[in-house]
Amino acid sequence: MSSVTVKSNDQLPIDDLNKIGISKDMLKNMPVQLVDSLKRGEITPIIQTSIVASNGQTVRLPLRLQVIRDAGSGAPSLLVYPTRSEMENSLLLSSKEVDAVKAGETISKELIVNGQSRQHLIQFDGRTNSLVHIPANELKLEEKFRELESINDIHLGTQQKEQIRTGKPVELKVGDEKVTVGVDLREPHAFKVIKGDMNEWRQKQLELYDIAHPEVMGYVQTERNRWEYQQVVNQNANKGGQSNNLEHSQGMKI
């Protein structure tokens, strides 16, 4: 099935959410930022879920969720990302390459995906302890550069554009403000613009992908029928689970 990340859509895959113990009523009580993340096609923070095992027992698992939509019909479906205590080196990177992506760098490497060899950009996603990647020629950066100029009035030079193509963010001054632009494969559109300098860019990466928190935190449905942000247990369950290659997504389809 050909799938793309949902950009903006109110329709959610209720049947898929029910399979992991999230009913319509629970969804209504979910914090707005969680529901909005699902609708935008983003990977959510960790959510404590309940799955009925083959022996009939209910297993509570901490998962990150993402809604994707079929490229043809637009029908939504759900990807789940098990938490891992160690990085899943699914692309067989060298130790030097692993150190580079863990330090926040983007690397370029030729990969064979679905029998086709192409140059990919690769980054590390601290939320799922996994690698995310996309063929470099599918980033549609020329389109993004045109949008920057027409919508944000941000003009990039030839050298700056080339730097972004290789995965390195670029810091610019627009009027009296600093702006940083770059490829971020963990974003739904693999591209991001923030107000702030390079240090602000790095700090936002830490905050957004929970890299600043060595403990496992997430949203738990409490006995008071409320979602609360607290430490999540069973964080090593499903460690190293099998992943489903959907381009730069590394989740498992429900």
Residue 249 is predicted with a pLDDT of: 44
Asked if 77 and 4 count as a contact pair (C-beta separation under 8 A), the reply is no
The residue with tokens 């942000």 is: 229
Would you state the structure tokens that stand for residue 37, as one six-digit string? 């993340």
> Residue 215: pLDDT band by 50, 70, 90 thresholds?
low
Asked if 235 and 244 count as a contact pair (C-beta separation under 8 A), the reply is no
Would you state the structure tokens that stand for residue 168, as one six-digit string? 């390195």
Give the helix/strand (H/E) hosting 77: strand 76-82
The pLDDT of residue 197 is above 60: yes
Would you state the structure tokens that stand for residue 108, as one six-digit string? 């370029």
Q: Per-residue pLDDT tens for 142-172?
A: 888 888 888 778 888 899 999 999 888 899 8
Q: In whole angstroms, what is the distance from residue 197 CA to residue 101 CA?
A: 21
Domain ranges of the chain: 3-83+216-253, 95-137, 138-208
Of 129, 76, 101, 139, nearest to 240 by C-alpha is 129
Helices (H) then strands (E): counts for the chain: 7, 13
pLDDT (average), residues 188-200: 81
Q: In whole angstroms, what is the distance from residue 65 CA to residue 39 CA?
A: 11
Sheet with strand 130-135: strands edge to edge:
107-113, 116-125, 130-135
Residue 8 is predicted with a pLDDT of: 40
Alpha helices in the chain (DSSP H): 14-19, 24-29, 32-39, 95-102, 141-151, 158-165, 198-208
Of 186, 168, 184, 205, nearest to 250 by C-alpha is 186
pTM, two decimals, is: 0.62
Would you state the structure tokens that stand for residue 55, as one six-digit string? 């022996």
Q: Per-residue pLDDT tens for 82-136?
A: 777 778 788 899 999 999 988 888 999 999 887 889 999 999 887 777 888 888 8
Would you state the structure tokens that stand for residue 20, as one six-digit string? 């992991």
Among residues of the chain, what percentage have pLDDT more than 90?
9
Among residues of the chain, what percentage have pLDDT more than 70?
79
